[in-house]
Chain A
Amino acid sequence: MADPIQANPISTRSPVTAPAVAPQAPAAPGVAPLEVAFAIKGFSLWYGANQALYNVAIDIPARSVTAIIGPSGCGKSTFLRALNRMHELTPGTRIAGDLRLFGEDLYAPGIDPTVVRRRVGMVFQKSNPFPTMSIAENVLVGLRLNGVNDRVFLRERLEQALRMAALWDEVKDHLSRPGISLSGGQQQRLCIARALAVQPEVLLMDEPCSSLDPLATAKIEELINDLRSSYTVIIVTHNMQQAARCSNRTAFFYLGKLVEYDQTRTIFMNPSNPQTEAYVSGRFG
């Protein structure tokens, strides 16, 4: 088992996890001696009669990037959407198990999914800036519609979010242009800025680069790298190089089950499960 502190050099910068924290003795896969963002046990999900997730148990550390890989239909997007209860938009879904964010049960009765989603933001496969809104309006819509009206604050947050999404320099002179006037890659970064502007605790990304060219993809990977010191990022990707490049930990899903979850390096160099090895070496999926 690799030393988690070494494998996650970023964690030493985290204000919460002091570098002096000793790695807890032999960490089983899925148990990291880092602050845990999502603690998930025995999580299953059904679409009507079809079971999409089987008994998933995983601890996702805070302030790091976790990649979720697996062939199409393996349940990785479903899993991601269950993390902020977006799957509930599909009628007839049902869950079982325990899913906690920083200790709080997100599925407890009385928990408003709207509040969950304010804490757990999401960026989608297809960029979707609101077509009736300008660049600035797109970034600020989450705050404005949640009742934030302080102009100075909004102005600061606008710049901060666009800088974090590595878009500020490209758009700062025409913030009032329509969001959909931007290029595809810029639109996706605009969506990232929009998600970051409400300062969620976790950012979920569902194949954020799958419709982008390599240059735009590189920009987004770079910004994911910059985010990891302050954000918990969970990214679903079909692109294994992308998982290898920008994640600290990787989870491999197959047929609705979590097959293996470990340091990204371990998953790609020395996986313990033959299915994982077959998938990461491109022999199926």
Chain B
Amino acid sequence: MSETRHIQPAAAQHSWRRFKSGAMAGLLFVCALLVMAPLFLVLYFLIREGASALDWNFFTQLPKPTGEAGGGMANAIVGTLVMLAMAAVIGVPLGVMGGIYLAEYGSDRANDWIRFTADVLNGIPSIVWGMVVYVLLVVPFKTFSAYAGGVALGLMMVPLVMRTTEEVLILVPQGYREAGLALGIARWKIITVIVVKTALKGIVTGVLVAMARVAGETAPLLFTALGNNFWSHRLSEPISALPLQIFTYAISPYDDWHRQAWAGALVLMAVILILNVSVRILSRGRKFK
């Protein structure tokens, strides 16, 4: 039953409501600020502690032995890039093709299972990935290696890339597929030349997000890439990576290593920020009509 009294409140009631509304909006705004605060805190500490140790040597030199001043993380930076590239070689084709299957071919029943599996995979703790790859690649070949590290990161990327690829492909209007079919174009050509191309920005965005996610992973590399204080000359040798080097330095008892760990964290953070900013720029133009 409608009560007309409520439609036109008295003046006093009205201002009390306005006050409540304003207070709630303010509270929500503060909460939103608190969400952003940790990012700025992280950046603040990284810059305060790490910037002083960042110099040209940091990017060009190997770590120095204990007790010697200076040195850098050149091998770790290269190692991270190498393993990210290997992860992309594994994760992008598998993930994108799996996503295409989900969006374009799979039956509802098959898709339910695949999606469920992908979601479980996404939830697997990263150290478990490291252990699995340790058993699969490190034990049989009797050596830690860049390959093993790249495979561990690549496997982590697959479900991430697969789900985002599926999501952006589903956003491509059905009308484009129908238009292609009505022209007598084979289905696989429609999917590759028309649908995937239309969704390409979204797919690239998903790939970058996944790379940003695995770039900072430490745990899966502990049992696979292991780390290395020198240059790795072969991909079948242990290799250093920024998160590993940060970990090693951070738990050491030396002050100058601590500073280097901060600097490494700053560089890693910058890599991830750059990936995320690229995502923002790419996804700005992502519109389907």
Contacts and interface: CB of A to CB of B under 8 A. Distances in A.
A121 B184 CA distance: 8
Contact of B176 (A86, A89, A128): A128
B134 to A, nearest CB: 43
Contacts of A119: 184
B183 interface: yes
A117 interface: yes
Nearest to B172: A131
A115 B186 CA distance: 9
Contacts of A56: none
Interface string B180-197: 111111110110011001
Contacts of A86: 178, 181-182
Contact of A142 (B175, B177, B183): B183
Interface residues of B, number: 23
Given A124-B175, A124-B179, A130-B198, A142 B289 contact: no
Contacts of A115: 184
A126 B175 CA distance: 8
A239 interface: no
A142 B198 contact: no
B177 to A, nearest CB: 8
A117 B175 contact: no
A118 B184 contact: yes
B173 interface: yes
Interface residues on A, range: 20 to 34
B82 to A, nearest CB: 33
B183 A118 contact: yes
Interface string A176-189: 00001000000000
B40 interface: no
A114 B184 contact: yes
Given A131-B198, A132-B198, A89 B185 contact: no
Contacts of B198: 130-132
Contacts of B56: none
Interface stretch (A10-18, A93-101, A191-199, A215-223): A191-199
B113 interface: no
Contact of A130 (B179, B181, B189, B200): B179
A128 B181 contact: no
Q: Which of A118, A121, A131, A191 has the most CB of B within 10 A?
A: A131
Interface in B174-232: 175-187, 189-190, 193-194, 197-198, 200
B182 A132 contact: no
A248 interface: no
Nearest to B179: A128
B16 interface: no
A83 B186 CA distance: 18
B200 to A, nearest CB: 8
Contacts of A126: 175
B184 A198 contact: yes
Contacts of A128: 173, 175-176, 178-179
Contacts of A191: 179
Given A130-B176, A131-B289, A180-B289, A122 B197 contact: no
A154 interface: no
A131 B187 CA distance: 18
B184 A130 contact: no
B287 to A, nearest CB: 9
Contacts of B180: 130, 141, 145
B189 A145 contact: yes
Nearest to A113: B181
A257 to B, nearest CB: 26
Nearest to A127: B175
Interface string A141-173: 110011000000000000000000000000000
Contact of A122 (B182, B190, B194): B182
A180 B173 CA distance: 14
B174 to A, nearest CB: 8
Contacts of B200: 132
Given A128-B173, A131-B288, A198 B181 contact: no
B179 A117 contact: no
Interface in A187-217: 191, 194-195, 198, 200, 204
B220 to A, nearest CB: 37
Contacts of A132: 194, 197-198, 200
Closest 9 pairs between A and B when the two form their complex, measured CB to CB = A118-B184, A142-B183, A122-B182, A128-B175, A117-B184, A145-B185, A128-B179, A132-B197, A145-B189
Given A114-B186, A117-B184, A198-B184, 6 more contacts: A117-B181, A117-B183, A131-B288, A141-B193, A142-B185, A145-B190
Interface of B: 173, 175-187, 189-190, 193-194, 197-198, 200, 288-289
26 contacts: A86-B181, A89-B177, A89-B178, A114-B181, A114-B186, A116-B184, A118-B184, A121-B183, A121-B184, A122-B182, A124-B178, A126-B175, A128-B173, A128-B178, A130-B180, A130-B194, A131-B176, A131-B198, A131-B289, A132-B197, A142-B183, A145-B185, A145-B186, A194-B183, A195-B182, A204-B182
